[in-house]
Amino acid sequence: MSLFVRLADWQTDRDAIRGIRQKVFVEEQQVPADLEWDELEESAQHFLIYQSNKAIGTGRLTGGGKIGRMAILKDARGNGAGLELLNRICKFARVSGQKNVYLNAQVHAVPFYQKAGFAVTGEEFMEADIPHVRMDLTLNDQEPSENADDWNR
């Protein structure tokens, strides 16, 4: 089973992105739809992860290095897709010049993000009636062979 992460565009990939987030956040986690979709959709850099040519997950990177809206379809969890997606988003952020990234993690997912090197840096708070904490990661220096333009090939 091979996993593939690619850059996604809100305009052209909206149906895939919305479909995944609708299933994971709105239906599974009961996040109100009006909280799921925001004004950052069009300006964010979105990502899609595929398994066997099927989009199984998504995430986004917004201004200031904030990673968000990480979602993997329920039947695709447990195969490393979430970690692969997160690593690729961090790599993109790094080659794009970000020195740090952060996210608001659901408390139950803290061990997952810690495995990727993130550290809890804030107090617990509620978002969409789900407990969250802020987590930060300092990115390693860019490898000389990497370039943000490589993502567009």
Q: Domains in the chain, ordered, with CATH?
A: 3-152 (3.40.630.30)
At 63 the pLDDT is 86
Q: Tens-of-pLDDT digits for all 153 residues of the chain?
A: 689 999 999 999 999 999 999 999 999 999 998 889 999 999 999 999 999 999 999 999 998 899 999 999 999 999 999 999 999 999 999 999 999 999 999 999 999 999 999 999 989 999 988 999 999 999 986 454 455 555 443
Give every CB contact of residue 110 below 8 A, 6+ residues apart in sequence: 120, 133, 135
pTM above 0.85, yes or no: yes
Considering Cα of 42, then 151, then 88, then 80, what sign does the dihedral take?
Answer: positive
At 144 the pLDDT is 45
The secondary structure of residue 140, as a DSSP letter, is P
Phi, then psi, of 136 in degrees rounded to 5: -125, 155
10: Cα separation from own chain's centroid: 14
Give the C-alpha separation, 84 to 128, whole Å: 26
At 145 the pLDDT is 45
For 9, the token pair is: 């565009």
Give the C-alpha separation, 145 to 140, whole Å: 14
